[in-house]
Amino acid sequence: MYDFNRRRVLRGMLGGGAVTVGLPLLNVFLNGNGNAMADGRPMPVRFGTWYWALGIAKAAFVPGKTGATYDFKPEMEALKPVKDHFNVLTNFTAFRDNAPNLCHFSGWVINRTGAAPMTSGNIPGETVDVTIASQIGRTTRYKMLTASADGNARDTFSYDNPTTPNASEVSGLKFYTRLFGADFQDPNAPSFTPSPKVMVRKSAISGVLDDVKDLNKVVGADDKARLDQYFTGLRHLEKQFDQQLTKPEPIAACKKPGALKEDTKVGSDVSIIASRHKILTDLMVMAVACDQTRVFNMSYGGSSATRPGFEKPSHTATHEEPWDTAVDYQQTCSWFTRRAMENWAYYVKSFADFKEGEGSLLDNCFIMANSDHGLARIHALDGMALFTAGKAGGRVKSGLHIDGGATAATRLGYTAMRIMGLDIPAWGAKSNNTSKEIGEFLV
């Protein structure tokens, strides 16, 4: 199995032979990468997201060259020090077909759910982080964690279904308590309390195993093999439940942070948003390192951010600030985007600087970042910029600028799901439907 090339396996599965591949994808892939914890267990690959509002200005952002030796325009300047850790993807489109352009909404919804919303109260389905969490987030304390530096719990880009948002953590103090308060079971500590819900669910599986035995009495020899496979799958579920009911193995990198002395500040000045972003990011990094979750969402937001001495918030500026024809963008809007990118750089650096095993925590993550618009001034859904960060346990390379050629932005979500082991042939609705990975950054 170690010889399997990941993409070949995925392609083979797409070819129609998928149905009898019996091994859990993640194990196959992870072991092949030789990146394991000290005790030999494979390092889990985690999935994260990051969001910033109001897109980019092409002239100030999009590098002139693609590939590994691209140039940095002013809006990306802050990202220079972490260049090797991320990919920047430009010129992607969120297609809305016959749906309206719901300002500051359609764009992110398409990026995260694959479908264009018909009304502003309508999320067309679960978001990509939820889909991935259902795949990889079942053994951890939290299926996923979501935080927003914008200071508003409603600012979330994660939905279980059209009416179930996953509210954001906005208070550093509360987030700390939730993660590392009394209920925190330090993987390096001796005590552990299993979840009663998982316990009853596990006991129900035993009844299902009996159903397999029942059926075995009535089917032919060929079909017995298929039932065996079903049985194995049920055992796998049992094992997953067991894992959730078992005291976690010690994790060397996990260190419960010291209690926060004061809560995050309230306010919309970019420096205050950045301070909240820093506190929430630091907590998130440790939550991931302590394997409290394998799926994490962070929003920088920034649409209501203000600049000292400038009377309008960022979003208003996109509409009211004159277009500077000399540079071909709006100066203050671009200033706000640059602040957002500083925060993205901090986020990437925090994961990159955190040691895990022989590499960094970021090496075992795949993070995707997106915004709500391309050029926000005209609520553009084309010319969108996206990012990835991390190496996903060796499945992804970074340091590249990739031009999407106006293709679907949903390709990033689709690629992310494939990387995280979801066996899906395609993703997205109508013109956002794609079965094309962004192959340039896949190993």
Partner 1 sequence: MTFNVRLDLLRGSAIGLLAALALASCSGPATNGQAAASKSVAAVAAEPVSSGAEPRLRLITRDQYLNTLAYVFGADVRPDVEFAPLERVDGLLRLGTSRAGVNDTQLELYQKTAQNVAASVIEPQRRNFVISCKPKNEKAADRACAEQVLSRIGRLMFRQPLPKDKLATLVEHASASADKLEDFYAGLAVAIEEILVSPKAMLIAETAEPDPKKPGSMRLDAYSLASRLSYYLWDAAPDEALLKAAETGEIMTDRGRAKIVDMMIASPRLKDGMRAFFDDMFDFEKMNTLSKDALVYPAFTGLTAEDAREQTLRTVVDHLITKKGDYRDLYTSRTTFLSPPLAALYQLPTVKGWTEYQFPENSPRSGLLTHISFLSAHSHPGRSSPTLRGKALRELLLCQPVPRPPANVDFSALENPKAEQKTQRDRVTFHLENPVCAGCHRITDPIGLAMENFDGSGRYRTTERGATIDASGNLDGKQFTNVVGLAAALHDHPGLTSCLVKRAYAYGTGSQTTNDDAEMLKFLNARFGAAGYRVPDLLRTIALSSSFAEFKLEAPAKDEAKTASAVPATE
Partner 2 sequence: MKTLKSTQVSAFALSAALALMSGMGAAHAQMAEGALGVQNRSIGYVMTFENRSIYQAKDAKTQCPVALNDGPPEQFKKLYPDKGERTVEGTRLAWEGELWNPTSKELNVPYYEVQGKVGRGMNLDGKDDANDYVSPDTGEKGIDNQVYRAVGCTFNYRDGQTSTLTPQWRRATYNIFVVELTEVDSLQNDDDVIVTTYRGKDRLITDATGNEYLPGGSQTLDTRWGKRYIQSFKGKIKDGVLTTEAKDLIMPAASIYAPRDGAPDIIYRDMRFQLNLTDTQANGLMGGYADVWTWYYHSHKTRDSRHQAYGGTAGPTLYRALMKNADAYPDKNGQNTAISTALDVKFVHVFVKHPDAQVAGVVGTSQTAEGKTTDTRSRE
The residues that touch partner 1, with contacts defined as CB under 8 A, are: 14, 16-25, 95, 97-98, 125-126, 134-135, 138, 161, 196-197, 199-201, 203-205, 207-208, 210-212, 214-215, 218-220, 223, 225-227, 229-230, 232-234, 236-237, 240, 406, 421, 423-426, 429-435
Contact map string, positions 324 to 363, toward partner 2, x by CB under 8 A = -x--------------------------------------
Dump the DSSP string for 396-441: B--S-EEE-TT-BTHHHHHHHHHHTT---S-B-SGGG-B----GGG
316 touches partner 2 by CB under 8 A:
yes
382 touches partner 2 by CB under 8 A:
yes
| Site size for partner 2 (CB under 8 A) | 21
Cα–Cα distance, 11 to 442 (Å, whole number): 13
Residues 6 or more apart in contact with residue 230 via CB below 8 angstroms: 212
Cα–Cα distance, 440 to 415 (Å, whole number): 11
> Please, is 33 exposed, middle or buried when counting C-beta atoms within 10 Å of its C-beta (0-12, 13-18, 19+)?
buried
Closest distance to partner 1 from the beta carbon of 377 (Å): 24
Closest distance to partner 2 from the beta carbon of 241 (Å): 34
Q: Which does 325 bind (CB under 5 to 8 A by kind): partner 2, partner 1, none?
A: partner 2
Q: How are the residues of the chain apportioned to helix, strand and coil, as percentages rounded to the nearest 5? A: 40, 15, 45
Closest distance to partner 1 from the beta carbon of 37 (Å): 22
Q: Which does 319 bind (CB under 5 to 8 A by kind): partner 1, partner 2, none?
A: partner 2
b (16+ CB within 10 A) / e for 7-28: eebbeebeeeeeeeeeeebbeb
Closest distance to partner 1 from the beta carbon of 149 (Å): 30
Eight-class DSSP state of 78: G
Closest distance to partner 2 from the beta carbon of 441 (Å): 25
Nearest residue (CB) to partner 1, 212 versus 252? 212
Nearest residue (CB) to partner 2, 95 versus 159? 95
Contact map string, positions 93 to 122, toward partner 2, x by CB under 8 A = x-xxxxxxx---------------------
Q: Which does 378 bind (CB under 5 to 8 A by kind): partner 1, partner 2, none?
A: partner 2
Residue 366: closest CA among 333, 397, 337, 338: 397
Helical H segments across 137-195, by residue range = 172-180
Q: Which does 316 bind (CB under 5 to 8 A by kind): partner 2, partner 1, none?
A: partner 2
294 touches partner 2 by CB under 8 A:
no
Nearest residue (CB) to partner 2, 22 versus 100? 100
CB atoms closer than 10 angstroms to residue 376: 27
Q: Which does 212 bind (CB under 5 to 8 A by kind): partner 1, partner 2, none?
A: partner 1
Nearest residue (CB) to partner 2, 8 versus 430? 430
Which range binds partner 2 by CB under 8 A, 122-130, 172-180, 247-255, 376-384? 376-384
CB atoms closer than 10 angstroms to residue 74: 17
67 touches partner 2 by CB under 8 A:
no
Return the residue of 84, 228, 269, 320 that touches partner 2, per CB under 8 A. Answer: 320
Nearest residue (CB) to partner 1, 250 versus 425? 425
Cα–Cα distance, 149 to 172 (Å, whole number): 10
Owner of token pair 């602040």: 339
Closest distance to partner 2 from the beta carbon of 142 (Å): 36
378 touches partner 2 by CB under 8 A:
yes
State the amino acid at position 281 in one-letter form: T
CA atoms within 13 A on the CB side of 335: 16
Eight-class DSSP state of 88: E
Q: Which does 252 bind (CB under 5 to 8 A by kind): partner 1, partner 2, none?
A: none
159 touches partner 2 by CB under 8 A:
no
Closest distance to partner 2 from the beta carbon of 431 (Å): 4
406 touches partner 2 by CB under 8 A:
yes
Cα–Cα distance, 4 to 330 (Å, whole number): 50
Question: Edge to edge, what strands does the sheet with 401-403 contain?
Answer: 145-148, 295-301, 46-52, 365-370, 384-389, 86-92, 401-403
Return the residue of 284, 381, 389, 420 that touches partner 2, per CB under 8 A. Answer: 381
For residue 137, is it left (φ>0), alpha (ψ between -120 and 50) or beta? alpha
Residue 416: closest CA among 295, 289, 284: 295
Cα–Cα distance, 6 to 114 (Å, whole number): 24
Residues forming contacts to partner 2 in the complex (CB under 8 A) are 93, 95-101, 316, 319-320, 322-323, 325, 377-378, 381-382, 406, 430-431
